[in-house]
């Protein structure tokens, strides 16, 4: 079964008037923490106290992993068109993460129908790792490499929490219109990446190792 499809069935929903923690059922605001259930491969909402209970990775016999709050703007990374073409992704927007169950890096790109998986060669991923060693610090299942490349030659690369990628997928899915997405979708994507840049300004890169 497709990993992203399983997780997206449990992504945050626009349900008035308030969401609740998936662990203690306490009401939580729109901005809240998340955990990944590694058994069912789904994203779960959590109040701050429940999030902190599971913060030591390996809690609950390793079933749940907290989604970190690290945002890193990889300003020095530059990918050539040839390097990007190796990923065989039809658009300039995609995210990559290491799936611990499948023991490999998976690649997805968002669209009007949700997240689509792209076949990813180990050689292509290793080439990017050679250019940007910080990508090796991403935590499995809960952090992702997010890429944005446009037709004008602008490109941006980030390490982000995995829930940020699902937020982007949902944003595009609900706002996409016509063949190219439309002005509203483009404006929302621009705002999303503007927020990523702002959140990355004060993020200190630490020597996190994959777990």
Task: Quote the distance between the C-alpha of residue 22 and its chain's center.
Answer: 20
Q: How many secondary structure helices (H) and strands (E) does the chain include?
A: 6, 11
Asked if residue 88 and residue 52 are part of one domain, the reply reads: no
The arithmetic mean of pLDDT across residues 62-89, rounded, is: 91
| DSSP string for 18-78 | -EE-TTT--EE-SS-EEEEETTTTEEEEE-HHHHHHT-STTGGGGTEEE-----EE-TT--
Reply yes or no on whether the pLDDT at 109 is more than 50. Answer: yes
Together in a domain, 84 and 146: yes
Same domain, 84 and 171: yes
- To the nearest 10 degrees (0 to 180), the angle between helices 182-200 and 162-175 is 160
Banded pLDDT at 139 (limits 50, 70, 90): very high
Q: How many domains does the chain have?
A: 2
Residues 82 and 31 in one domain: no
Kindly state whether residues 77 and 52 are assigned to the same domain. no
Same-domain pairing of 153 and 98: yes
Span 170-199, average pLDDT: 81
Average pLDDT over residues 84-91: 88
Q: How far apart are CA 107 and CA 100, in angstroms?
A: 14
pLDDT given at position 202? 61
Do 123 and 31 reside in the same domain of the chain? no
36: β partners? 43, 65
Task: Indicate the pairing of strand 155-161 with strand 72-73.
Answer: antiparallel
The mean pLDDT value of the chain amounts to 83
Contact status, residue 170 vs residue 43, Cβ threshold 8 Å: no
Same structural domain for residues 58 and 103? no
| pTM of the predicted model over 0.95 | no
Mean pLDDT of 139-148: 95
Q: CA 190, CA 194: separation in Å to the nearest integer?
A: 6
Claim to verify: residue 110 and residue 176 sit in the same structural domain:
yes
Q: Which domain holds residue 57?
A: 3-66
Whether residue 158 is contained in a domain is answered as: yes
Please indicate, yes or no, if residue 27 is contained in any of the structural domains. yes
Domain assignment present for 210? no
Residue 22 inside a domain? The answer is yes
Q: Determine the Cα–Cα distance for residues 50 and 200; give it in Å rounded to an integer.
A: 25
Q: What is the CA radius of gyration of the chain?
A: 17
Residues 76 and 105 in one domain: yes
**Last residue of a domain, which of 42, 66, 90?**
66
Q: Which residue has the higher pLDDT, 180 or 7?
A: 180
What does the pLDDT read at residue 6? Answer: 53
* 179 and 86 in a common domain: yes
pLDDT of residue 58: 64
What pLDDT, in 10s, does the model give residues 114-127? 788 888 888 889 99
With cut-offs at 50, 70 and 90, classify the pLDDT of residue 148: very high
Residue with the bigger pLDDT between 111 and 136: it is: 136
- Looking at residue 203, its pLDDT comes to 54
Separation CA 35–CA 13 (nearest Å): 16
pLDDT at 210 (0 to 100):
45
Please tell me the distance from the alpha carbon of residue 185 to that of residue 172, in angstroms, as a whole number.
6
Residue 211: inside a domain = no
pLDDT at 198: 93
**Integer Cα distance of 151 and 122 in angstroms:** 26
Which of 48, 66, 84 lies at the terminal end of a domain, its last residue? Answer: 66
- Asked if residue 207 is part of any domain, the answer here is no
Is 205 inside a domain boundary?
no
Q: Which of 31, 66, 101 is the last residue of a domain?
A: 66
Q: Strand ranges (DSSP E) for the chain?
A: 19-20, 27-28, 33-37, 42-46, 64-66, 72-73, 93-99, 104-111, 114-118, 143-149, 155-161
Q: Is residue 160 part of a domain?
A: yes
Residues 89 and 186 in one domain: yes
Q: Is the pLDDT of residue 206 over 60?
A: no
């Amino acid at each position: 079964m497709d990993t992203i499809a399983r997780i997206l069935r449990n992504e945050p929903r626009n349900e008035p008037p308030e969401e609740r923690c998936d662990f203690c059922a306490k009401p939580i605001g729109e901005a809240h923490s998340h955990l990944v259930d590694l058994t069912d491969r789904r994203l779960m909402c959590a109040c701050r106290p429940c999030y902190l209970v599971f913060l030591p990775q390996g809690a609950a016999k390793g079933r749940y992993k907290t989604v970190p709050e690290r945002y890193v703007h990889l300003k020095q990374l530059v990918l050539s068109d040839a390097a990007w073409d190796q990923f065989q992704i039809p658009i300039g927007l995609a995210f990559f993460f290491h799936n611990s169950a499948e023991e490999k890096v998976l690649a997805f790109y968002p669209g009007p129908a949700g997240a689509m998986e792209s076949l990813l060669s180990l050689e292509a991923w290793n080439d990017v790792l050679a250019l940007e060693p910080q990508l090796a610090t991403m935590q499995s299942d809960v952090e992702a490499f997010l890429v944005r490349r446009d037709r004008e030659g602008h490109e941006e690369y980030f390490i982000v929490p995995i829930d940020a990628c699902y937020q982007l997928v949902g944003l595009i899915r609900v706002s996409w219109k016509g063949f190219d997405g439309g002005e509203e979708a483009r404006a929302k994507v621009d705002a999303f990446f503007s927020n990523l840049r702002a959140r990355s300004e004060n993020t200190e890169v630490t020597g996190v190792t994959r777990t």
